[in-house]
Chain A
Amino acid sequence: MSNLASRRDHDLYILIGLTLVLAAVFAVVFGESMYSARNLRSMAYQMPEFGLLALGMMLAFLIGGIDLSIVAVANTSGIMTALVLTGVWLPGLSGYGVVAAAVATGLTAAVAFGLFNGFLIAKLSASPIIATLGTMTFYSGIGMALTGGKGITGLPSAFTSFGTAEMLGVPVIFVCFVAVAAALSAFLSRTALGRRMYLYGENPLAARFSAIDVERIGFWVYGVIGLLAGMSGHIVISRVNSAKVGYGDAYQLQALLVCVIGGIHPQGGRGKTLGVVCAVILMQMLSSAFTILRFSPYAKKLIWGSMLIVMLGLEYLSAKQNVRRELRQKIVH
């Protein structure tokens, strides 16, 4: 085994250990209020919408990009679904027909948004930050123009029941999230396309010269990110029974933070899905703890912001150590 690979696994074990330790500490400190069935369930309800966005951000990070438009995509795709559900668009449908049409509309839009990002970044070589900053404004602008900033309420129960449905006491949306995460994890670590994504993220130029179709991969990866964001948007509207621009703006930062905590390197090519899932759980536990402690949203901002800086600092230190190790290795051989 190489030192480098084992070191990376090492980081992942530390993260898993940290999550477990935190879980134990919270058990002692908060006891019942943290681990009551009610709180566990509410955590399971909150995690998917945010977790899916984080997985999307992870994919962007892995190929050396970033996607700042995920929240905008989620909201606007949710709004489009809500417009169909409430009969503003495609009037005349009823029952499950309207739900199917609505979800199809919303997810198609989400994928289209994602692919448009992919087009700008992969085919026109726009810088990911600037391109998605632009589309973030653009997509949320579409949502705003469609709703005038007002919420769309009164969604049919055939749709909203999905957000509250449970399977053996576990929320269906949570099961969905776990399934998506597991599929992504298997895809990234085992398939040829997953490997190509890592190679692309590590060195896009060498990937191109190795006959890897980087432009096509980049294009479709952003499409998948759009799909994940769209799914998140649907979960949100079915859970809160309304669609509105500006919902979940804080998720943007948290998604970035989760990726950094989860060991996805912001410059691409490194990290594992399991790390992100761990980080999502960690964040959710912290979030719950903050709620129990009645922290203000501002205090949360403070904590998330400082966590991001601290994690970047640790990442930097670990990279520095790594360079030293490589140097030593080089001298030996």
Chain B
Amino acid sequence: MSEGAIQRRRVSATEGILACVVLLYCVMVAAVNPAFLSVETLFDIVRSSSTAVIVGMGLLLVMLSGGIDVSFMSIALFGSYVAAYLMIRLKIDSLAFAFAVSIGLGTTLGLVNALLVNWLNLPPFIITLGTQNLFHGVMTTFISDKTFGAGVMPSVLSKFGSATLFTLKTRQGVMGLTVAVIPMCLSILLTWFIVYRTMTGRGVVAMGNSPESARRAGFNLLKLRLFTYGYIGALAAVMGVVYISQVNAVYPNKLVGNELMIIAGAVIGGVKDTGGRGKILGVILGIAIIYLLNSTLIFLGLSSSWNNFFVGTLLVASVAVTSWQNRRKNRKNLLFME
């Protein structure tokens, strides 16, 4: 009974509603344009959203801890750019090297965030907005601000970016599922394991519930922060390498500024910015909705310039509904602070 009860709680109303929204939307798009229903579209969406899901898992952990991070794209760029830069300069052609360098750097920058959040005791949003610019500035000023095109990209990265897990023959031609699903699935599994199976993960959730109670329970908040911000740094770094491989070029000014889409995905997926509440499935569905929107506007006959409009509408609507519900519940309990 008890086990079943835990399981039951894992899927709640938010995820159910989101899944319905995704389904209904797909049906609608398919009705307008049957071409939407193809393996190609599916594989395309998986490919484009895989990077977002990887770093979204890190964001989930940070938001569960009651914090927020807007510097992760800066970190992703920093790690992957430096990795690629070194590979090109030193003529190293190894995927392991790329990931090792990137993850090393990403984790370090994440730890910097953790220390600042812990010491300054000010809103993490403003702190990480500062480090977002700081990291990007350090990279472009002190390392390099050149663009590396497809011609000079290390061949392992190019191959990794276009590699497929398996291919299907369809009427449109041969379709392959990107290998990026491997790091994506790994990050999901790892995050699930951390959040639901490790004491550190429960500590992170506990801290998001109530920092003071977590401290009294004997958790070391600094260590937990180092872990969460380090974790998102590492995942961002992984995502950066996957991203430059998929794009098959390294730009000094891409990625940064795209944090918003991931945060939007998490919020739509029901993760609360006040900490302690959020589910993996929610984040995946939230991100899925955003990328679904992005890649299906064409099927509806709209140009991609409508992207932000629809994502914004969805985000605002979800924020409005959840905060109104929360407010009503609070008022009933005579709470006037949200």
Residues of A within 8 A of B (CB): 66, 120, 124-127, 129-131, 133-142, 144-145, 147-149, 204-205, 208, 249, 253, 256, 260, 266-267, 296, 298-306, 308-309, 312-313, 315-316
Contacts and interface: CB of A to CB of B under 8 A. Distances in A.
B200 interface: no
The prevalent SS among residues of A at the interface is: helix
A309 B319 contact: no
Contact of A135 (B120, B312, B324, B326): B312
Contact of B308 (A130, A144, A313): A144
A137 B122 contact: no
Given A129-B68, A144-B308, A312-B126, A305 B323 contact: no
B310 A141 contact: yes
B252 interface: yes
A141 to B, nearest CB: 3
A299 B316 contact: no
Contacts, number: 162
B228 to A, nearest CB: 18
A296 B141 contact: yes
Contacts of A140: 308, 312
Nearest to A149: B305
Given A127-B273, A129-B273, A133-B260, A120 B319 contact: yes
Contacts of B68: 129
Contact of B141 (A133, A137, A267, A299): A299
A141 B126 contact: no
Interface of B: 68, 116, 119-123, 125-127, 129-138, 140-141, 145, 252, 257, 260, 263-264, 267, 273-274, 303, 305-313, 315-316, 319-320, 323-324, 326-327, 330, 336-338
B141 A127 contact: no
Contacts of A135: 312, 316
A106 B174 CA distance: 50
Contacts of A130: 267, 273, 319
A279 B228 CA distance: 34
Contacts of A309: 116, 127, 130-131, 134
Contacts of B123: 266-267
A296 B143 CA distance: 14
